[in-house]
Amino acid sequence: MNNKLQTQLNGRNKLKSSGFLNSLENIFPKLIITPTFIVALVCIYGFIFWTIWISFTDSRILPDYELKGFAQYITLFTKEPRWWVAVINLFIFSTCFIAVSIIIGLTLAIFLDQRIRAEGAFRTIFLYPMALSFVVTGTSWRWILNPSLGVEKLFVDMGFTDFTFRWLVQSETAIYTIVMAAVWQSSGFVFAIFLAGLRGIDSSIIKAAKVDGASLPRIYTRIMIPSLRPVFLSAMILLLHLAIKSFDLVMVLTGGGPGYSTDMPATFMYTFAFNRQRLAFGAASAVMMLVAVMALIIPYLWSELRGTRNEK
């Protein structure tokens, strides 16, 4: 028995000395990650490259791989007013969505940072909308804002016969109904980010300020909120990313209407690529969305990596 055990030990020592186990340990993680890398290469970067290529063609219903230059981009920016409506709507939606979400999220975070009772229940209530999909949110708000079903009908039935609330069906105000639904969906997420940031501030700084006689509002406005600059940046990047990609909420809530008054770049791309069979034109608008997202993400990642290197 001892001889057999000694033989096994000698065999393992030979494997180790030969470097076989060491090479296997180096290769195994690469074997595990290889399928993921292939899927990402084909399904993400492959389709991105394909979309960019199609945007330089004259593809209609089916792809046409003969390059035609920048014709689709020239048409997009000079001959299609609907694109500029979508861009202006994106600007209005992004500005209102980010500003209101940050204000509400920060206010809720400061409220819960006071260590109130039932904090866990309030946190769950504020975060619950984020658990819903934008399809559910859009459907719910479409019912609420529908003049014949929602808020207007409720007040009329209560006796306020002159009350009107028809933002959803008016071209001038329909975009703001999307802002309302998106803020309701995402402000809880922003609240969680800010609450984590507030809880991460060194408590000794706050105690020292209290000893110096600083009031609670002064502590928040002069010490805690200025310390949340990285949190503000992260929240703005995430919200702007959601705004640029907004599609399902718009399609469910307004369908891009009335007319195309609530069109966004994402709904514009879908309409022209799949409903109007102008595949190359839709691909060109998709590439512009990609450029906008990259213009946000790349500087953010660069600043984060630079900060990490400076800390080292």
44-77 pLDDT tens trace? 788 889 999 999 999 988 888 888 889 999 999 9
Query: What DSSP character marks residue 221?
Result: I
pLDDT tens for 188-229 read 999 999 998 888 887 787 788 878 777 888 888 888 888 888
The span from the CA of 308 to the CA of 230, in Å, is: 13
DSSP for 37-51?
Answer: HHHHIIIIIIHHHHH
- Answer with the residue of higher pLDDT: 248 or 11: 248
pLDDT above 70 coverage of the chain, percent: 85
What's the whole-number mean pLDDT along residues 148-162? Answer: 86
pTM of the model: 0.81
pLDDT at 89: 94
Helices 134-145 and 174-199: crossing angle in degrees, nearest 10, is: 130
- Answer with the residue of higher pLDDT: 310 or 248: 248
255, two tokens: 């369908």
C-alpha distances out from residue 200 to 127, 193, 227, Å: 19, 11, 10
Average pLDDT, the chain: 83
pLDDT at 4: 52
pLDDT at 198: 87
